[in-house]
Amino acid sequence: MEFTEAYKQTGPCCFSPNARYIAVAVDYRLVIRDTLSFKVVQLFSCLDKISYIEWALDSEYILCGLYKRPMIQAWSLTQPEWTCKIDEGPAGIAYARWSPDGRHILTTSDFQLRLTVWSLVNTACVHVQWPKHPSKGVSFTQDGKFAAICTRRDCKDYINLLSCNSWEIMGVFAVDTLDLADIEWSPDDSAIVIWDSPLEYKVLIYSPDGRCLFKYQAYESGLGVKSVSWSPCGRFLAVGSYDQMLRVLNHLTWKTFAEFMHLSSVRGPCCAALFKEVDEPLQLDMSELCLSDDFTENNNDASERLRVRYEVMELPITLPFQKPPADKPNPKQGIGLMSWSNDSQYICTRNDSMPTALWIWDICRLELAAILVQKEAIRAVAWDPTCTRLVLCTGSSHLYMWTPSGAYCVNIPLLQFTITDLKWNSDGSCLLLKDKESFCCAAVAAPPDSSEYDSDD
């Protein structure tokens, strides 16, 4: 892997959908860099510190959320002199997002008083009263023709179906939830999945015309749903629960066809490969040691760049487990992280009671494919959009990768750089790695086809 130098950032960073640019927030400035040369191609000055960045799907426009002011500013890459400013006044702005056509901006006011659709083509705007959530509860179809927006009035949850062409309300229907958590269109746009708050285990499948196609409830007592995700192919719906189980439903009957347990003790029979992160012994060349004043400083630099590797473990194995306190809300348990591979063959999960373990499940074989046991809690994971390769970070100076051929660790060559978040470019050519106040990019080669599980780059 080849790494760039570290560049400054003080907020969000993201690739453009066409993979040509990377947008970086540096205090009040929005810096647009080329992904090949990393030269600055545009520099925009905002009126306040940038809290949020989002590209339009055609990569021509980009919006910046200045939530402290609160205000939205939008910029054009093809017309640098063009700018747009959205200010809701006393209503405030809690969140903003692009519509699929990249010519409308949807903003949610403070206290969820209304959701407003702003047009960049003309001065028209459309209001939807009482949106359920500031950042959730809005989902677009894959073809970009319709939007489903959750609202709540008279202690009842509703789904508003809007046309993204005219922004007229095409239909409104009530849903059978106590406190709707979120919604998501299926990848084929044929159904909408809705799930309730953790206090009520309820997953509902609705048709666009408001018919309830299926109601799923795994159990009645205890905290319920924590995460829901469609597979990219649209044939599977994964539901992660607080009971530390992952359940997968099929799109034909909406019945559960797979249930995956996340137990702290893993025993046989099991075909999964178990990888544990361990420190690699530091080898010092005695001929290079000298009694100079900077010996201690050099030794400290060496310790900061301690190399790690994966060690293949044998069954049985006991994973580090953290029992959540019973007297505190929002317990750290259940499936809090879940992500599908691009080909829908694998899904990775993290049970929040075991934050250092990443589980990788093979959906085709309906079995556990691998477990990665890290030294620190897993911060973020991301699947390669072009092949079956998974990368993850733990807030350390190392990058971790898994493919069906094995797992390996990559030591970052930048001093004092710890990875807190990561993102793939849409063409799979490089990774964006974020530190607290800087970022770098890594050019990634094709995944290895060998079984060198504990190699270092």
- Predicted pLDDT at 327: 78
pLDDT of residue 154: 94
What is the CB neighbour count within 10 angstroms for residue 41? 15
In order, the DSSP letters of 2-15 are: EE---EE-SS-EEE
Query: Which residue among 87, 102, 126 closes a domain?
Result: 87
pLDDT tops 50 at residue 193:
yes
Cβ-contact 189, 147 below 8 angstroms: no
The tens digit of pLDDT for each residue in 17-64 reads 999 999 999 999 999 999 999 999 999 999 999 999 999 999 999 999
Question: What pLDDT is stored for residue 326 in this prediction?
Answer: 75
pLDDT band at 291 (very low <50, low <70, confident <90, very high): very low
Q: Which residues fall within 8 angstroms of residue 36, CB to CB, at 6 or more apart? A: none
Apex CA 134: angle with CA 148 and CA 44, to 5°? 105
pLDDT of residue 283: 62
Residue 304: inside a domain: yes
Q: What is the mean predicted confidence (pLDDT) over 439-456?
A: 66
Instruction: Provide the percentage of residues in the chain whose pLDDT is more than 90.
Output: 84
| Boundary-marking domain end, from 43, 71, 87 | 87
Residue type, 358: L
For residue 232, pLDDT over 50 is answered with yes
CB atoms within 10 A of CB 367: 13
Mention every residue, 6+ apart, whose C-beta is less than 8 A from residue 323. Answer: 353
Do 355 and 375 touch, CB atoms closer than 8 A? Answer: no
pLDDT beyond 70 at 288:
no
pLDDT at 349 over 70: yes
Smallest CA-to-CA distance from 338 within 201, 423, 230, 180 is with 230
SS (H, E, C) 49-80: CCCEEEECCCCCEEEEEECCCCEEEEEECCCC
Does 145 map to a domain? no
Assess if residue 241 is contained within a domain.
no
| Domain membership flag for residue 243 | no
* pLDDT bucket at 285, cuts 50 / 70 / 90: low
Across the chain, mean pLDDT equals 91
Contact by Cβ (8 Å): 19, 452: no
Token pair of 57, please? 């799907």
| Contact of 117 with 134, CB cutoff 8 Å | no
Length of the chain in terms of residues written: 457
Residue 78: inside a domain: yes
Going by their DSSP bridges, the two strands 367-373 and 273-279 should be labelled as: parallel
Separation between Cα atoms, residue 275 and residue 266, nearest integer Å: 13
- Secondary structure of 218-248 in HEC code, one letter for each residue: CCCCCCCEEEEEECCCCCEEEEEECCCEEEE
**Alpha carbons 237 and 326: distance in angstroms, whole number:** 30
Structure confidence at residue 280 (pLDDT): 83
**Average pLDDT of the residues in 245-258:** 95
Res 99 pLDDT > 80: yes
**Nearest to 407, CA basis, from 339, 309, 320:** 309
Task: Please give the single-letter amino acid code of residue 260.
Answer: F
The secondary structure of residue 299, as a DSSP letter, is H
Range of the domain at 36: 10-87
Q: What is the pLDDT of residues 303-320, one digit of tens each?
A: 445 789 999 999 889 999
Last residue of a domain, one of 87, 112, 135: 87
Query: What number is the average pLDDT over the span 181-203?
Result: 97
Q: What is the pLDDT of residues 109-159, one digit of tens each?
A: 999 999 999 999 888 899 999 999 999 999 999 999 999 999 999 999 999
**413 falls within a domain:** yes
Q: Classify residue 423: in a domain, yes or no.
A: yes
**Cα–Cα distances in angstroms (integers) from residue 193 to residues 84, 127, 216, in the given order:** 34, 24, 11
pLDDT of 323 over the 90 cut: no
Of residues 357, 352, 320, the one with CA closest to residue 333:
352
For the segment 210-221, the average pLDDT, to the nearest whole number, is: 95
Number of domains making up the chain: 2
In contact, 71 and 52? CB cutoff 8 Å: no
CATH number at residue 28: 2.40.10.480
Of 436, 447, 454, 355, which Cα lies nearest the Cα of 13? 436
Would 415 be classed as within a structural domain? yes
Interatomic CA distance for residues 211 and 191, integer angstroms: 10
What are the start-end ranges of the E strands in 236-355?
236-241, 245-250, 256-261, 265-266, 273-279, 308-313, 317-318, 335-340, 346-351
In angstroms, the CA 81 to CA 79 distance is: 5
**Residue 237, C-beta contacts closer than 8 angstroms, at least 6 positions apart:** 186, 193, 203, 228, 229, 230, 231, 248, 249, 250, 251, 254
